Structure formats: structure tokens, C-alpha cells
Amino acid sequence: MKCIQLLIILSLFSIFAYPQAPATEVRAVWLTTNWGLDWPTQGASVSAQKEELIKILDKLKNDNFNVVLFQTRAHGRVFYKSKIEGLSPFFNQSEDFDPLDFTITECHKRGMECHAWLITYPMEKATIKYTGKGKRRKATIVNDKPDYYKAIEDRWYLDPGRPESRQRIRSIVKEIVSNYDVDGIHFDYIRYPSNTGKFPDDDTYKKYGNGKTLQDWRRENINTLVTEVYDEVKDIKKWVQVSSSPLGRYKVLPEISRNDGWTAYETVFQDAGYWMRSGKHDLVFPMMYHRERYFYPFLDDWVANSNGRIVVPGLGVYQMDEQNWPLKDIQDQMKYIRENKVKGQAYFRTGNVLSNLKGIRDSIQVYYPTPAKLPPLTWLDDVSPNSPTNLQIQKDKEGYLNIAWEAPDSTEDFTYNIYVSATETFDKENPSFILTTGLRANNYSFLPSIGEFGFYYFLTASDRYHNESVVCFPAYFVHSEEEH
């Protein structure tokens, strides 16, 4: 079976050769919890739900992903223990189980970051429920402050023009960042509904418009939220990254007709380019769920507007199912990203990747042959940490190599990267030397391959901003095939 799998991967590689993988790259995936699309199985026991997530994360780690965008809030329900909003019904109400905390811990065990993915403005369905007396009432979440919400089509939305809406989102973000070791806050649906011509905010505009055009006022409402959240996050934990997933097309481009579909800036009033230019975003994950002329020029436009921030195009793997895209469309996009030195890619969504839809997981395993470090956030901090010390290696009776070291002399939190080379020299930017990245503990154990005889092991520390130290003094270990 392993031989067959290897032949499949080699055939993929020969048919579709990717540019060499870099040593530093964002490799992200959206993990959807709403409706249990990726996780969890509704009604399963807590232990079963935990085991289910562990298996998912093990597979992502095996495929060399390094960022999990974990859906933490959806439509006014949350996936953590909150004093502001209720827990999603897709999880068991257990005092001992906090889905967000568990996910963060398990991601960190595997050297992956966990970013809290929040559905921003959309709330619950705007269904009308009948009481026993024949009276009608609004859906439950909006009952407390009905003036804060607007209904359009079949859903309630927080009104972006109201200061109370901004405060609601800010309080949720503050609660998460203050109480959890998240690596990032990731906003989704941080926009007006697509059918904005019907969004009933005339009263809010009249009260708060201050002479601006409706379009400029709406963009300013979202810009204000982004600015306030970013500043508050950095006041609490400067290293926590702030990002969002705007529509894949930022603005109308000269070569693309305005009638060719919606854009972030013109249609739903997302000015994510401004968020990066004004220094209020660390990353942007545009939802590039399009093909050909609706993908490539718009990705170039995002990079041109990035202000040195990290652009991570989101690839619509799900379209191979819903729109019957061929695998080659996604492969072409992956290749273009590498060729143009874009700093990473993200995939929507986890279930489509791990089910190997049309062979996408096989392709990703070729695309990610080795682990990767994360790009440094130099606009937040550009000082490299001190190196770890006292690197030691021992082999146990089961044949595992146990590598241990001492942390740099500092109160900071670090992750660690291990490199391996047959000689005393190596290149940190050559991915072929990387053994593992993102370690949180001061030790690492693995079973070396038979036939490895003598190797040098190198170690670096990275801070929470992904700045990497110089290499500590290496350790040399002689492997003996007879010992295995």
C-alpha cells in the first residue's frame, strides 16, 4: 500500500512540478465548527469529540500545515466559555470542556498556531417564532437589544454603523485575547451584506452619517472597528496577530468589467488595503475562490496593496465539489503563488483537504515536502531572541532520539526549530535541512530512519513575532543501523 501511495505522489510530482518550497511560509487551513462541517460530530461525547479533533490535527501536522484558523464564533454563538454569548449547540455543555482552549493546546503540541476565527456581523436567522398566545417575537439572540440589529432577507445582522455593535465585537475579542493563548484574531464577514441596496440602515446613517456619502460612511464604520480592535489587541498582547478574510477581489480593476461580480471595496465596503496601509492588520487572507482572470490579477493587486504585510490567498478547494472544478485549477494557483513569492496560502476548508477531494491532499503533500517556519512580523518587533543552549541528544532502548536543551535566559515564550545536516554547515533558509518547527517544549523525540549514521543537529529559538535566533552550538550523533 505504501508503495502505491508513493507512486501516486511521484506521478503527481512528475506531471505537475511545483517551485521549490521555501523555508518560511504560511500554510493555513480553515477549520469549520458551525454545523459541525469539519468538527465536531454533534451529539458525540466529549471524549469522542476530543479524539476526533486530535486525529484532524495529527493529519494536518503530518501534511506540514502550520496555522489553523479555528472557527470560534458564528452567528452570535461561540465555541468557548464566554460570559457574553452562549456556547454553540454543536458542543456538549460540559463544565470541563472548552473547545477553544482544547484546540489551542493541541495545535501548540503539534507546532501549529491557532487563530480564533470570528464571524463578525451576521447573527442568527431572522425567523419569527409564535408564542402560545398567538403573538410573534423576534429570534432569541436579538431580544435583549433589538435596536442594535438589522434584518435583511432571512438573517439578523449587527448594524456596523452603531457604536454598540463595535463595542459588542470588541468585548468578544478582548475576552478571547485576555483569557486564551491564541496566536491570532481572524475576522470573517467583516463587511456589509452583499445585497447592500436593501440593508435597512437609513436611521443609523441619518444619526451618524455626518455629511459623508453612504458608501464612505459604511467603509468608515468597518475601518473604525478594525482600528479599535487592532489597538486593543496590541495593548493586551502585542504579539497576537490580527487578520481577516475579505472578498477575493479588492477593487474593480481596469481590465475587468465592473459588471463582472462583486468586490470588497465597492460592493460590501471592505477596505482591507487601507487596513494594511494604516498598519491595522498583520495578515490578510483574501477569499480567492475564483479562477483565471478573476484570480491572478486580483492576487497581484492584493500584494501591491499589502504595505509589507503578509498576504495569504485563500484557495477555494470546496469549489472542486460544489462547482466541479478540476484539480489542476487549484494546482495552477498554488504554482503561481510560489512563483511570485507570495508568503503563503490557506485552504477552505479542512474537510475538503483531508478527504483528499480530487487528489488535493496528495498535491499538498508534494507542495509541502518539509515543515516551514512562519514569516517574521518585523513591523511589530524585529529583534532576534537569544539562542537556546546546552543541546543534548540521547537514544533510548526503543531507538528514539531524545533531544533536549535549555531555553534562552528570558521571561519570553519561545518556539524552537530543529535542523539536521550530514556536515557542520547548513543553511537555515534551505528547507531540506528542517527537521521540525514550532516546538513549544524544551525537548523533542523522534524515530530516525534506518541507514542514518552520523548527523549534526542544530537548534534555534523563535519569539512570538517569529524572529529567529542564531544557531546554538550543534550536537553530533552517530547512528548505528545495528542498534535499530
pLDDT in tens, 351-388: 999 999 999 999 999 999 999 999 999 999 999 999 99
Return the half-sphere exposure (C-beta side, CA atoms, 13 A cut-off) of residue 343. Answer: 20
The per-residue pLDDT for 291 is: 95
Q: Is the pLDDT of residue 118 over 50?
A: yes
The per-residue pLDDT for 142 is: 67
Of 5-19, 140-154, 434-448, least confident by mean pLDDT is 5-19
The per-residue pLDDT for 145 is: 67
Confidence of residue 451 (pLDDT cuts 50, 70, 90): low
The per-residue pLDDT for 9 is: 44
Q: Is the pLDDT of residue 460 over 80?
A: yes
Mean pLDDT score, 1-14 = 42
The per-residue pLDDT for 450 is: 60
CATH annotation of 18-121+160-367: 3.20.20.80
In percent, the amount of the chain with pLDDT more than 70 equals: 90
The per-residue pLDDT for 475 is: 94
Give the integer Cα–Cα distance in Å for 476 and 438: 22
- Residue 409 DSSP class: S
CA 266 to chain centre: 26
The per-residue pLDDT for 352 is: 99
The per-residue pLDDT for 31 is: 99
Of 8-22, 349-363, 383-397, 432-446, least confident by mean pLDDT is 8-22
The per-residue pLDDT for 148 is: 82
Give the integer Cα–Cα distance in Å for 239 and 408: 18
The per-residue pLDDT for 114 is: 99
Confidence of residue 15 (pLDDT cuts 50, 70, 90): very low
Q: Is the dihedral of CA 123, 124, 125, 127 positive or negative?
A: negative
Which residues, in sequence order, are bridge partners of residue 151? 156
Q: Is the pLDDT of residue 327 over 70?
A: yes
Which among 273, 241, 227 is positioned nearest to 116, based on CA atoms? 241
Q: Do residues 371 and 434 touch, judged by C-beta distance below 8 A?
A: yes
The per-residue pLDDT for 154 is: 83
The per-residue pLDDT for 468 is: 98
Give domain limits for the chain. 18-121+160-367, 389-483
The per-residue pLDDT for 143 is: 67
- Tens-digit pLDDT profile for residues 215-264: 999 999 999 999 999 999 999 999 999 999 999 999 999 888 667 789 99
Of 92-106, 210-224, 358-372, 428-442, least confident by mean pLDDT is 92-106
Residue type, 252: V
Which superfamily, per CATH, for 389-483? Immunoglobulins (2.60.40.10)
Give Dmax over CA atoms of the chain in angstroms. 82
Q: Do residues 427 and 444 touch, judged by C-beta distance below 8 A?
A: no
In whole numbers, what is the pLDDT of the chain averaged over residues?
91
Long-range residue pairs from 272-279, CB within 8 A, at least 24 positions apart, any chain: 272/244, 272/246, 272/305, 273/302, 273/305, 274/223, 275/223, 275/226, 275/244, 276/305, 276/306, 276/307, 276/309, 277/305, 277/307, 278/227, 279/307, 279/379
Which residues, in sequence order, are bridge partners of residue 74? 77
β pairing state of 129-130 and 283-284? unpaired
Which among 167, 305, 193, 310 is positioned nearest to 242, based on CA atoms? 310
- Per DSSP (E only), the strands in 274-414 are 283-284, 287-288, 310-311, 314-315, 344-347, 389-395, 401-406
Distance between first and last Cα of the chain: 23
- Tens-digit pLDDT profile for residues 438-447: 999 999 999 9
Q: Is the pLDDT of residue 326 over 70?
A: yes
Confidence of residue 17 (pLDDT cuts 50, 70, 90): confident
Whole-prediction pTM = 0.93
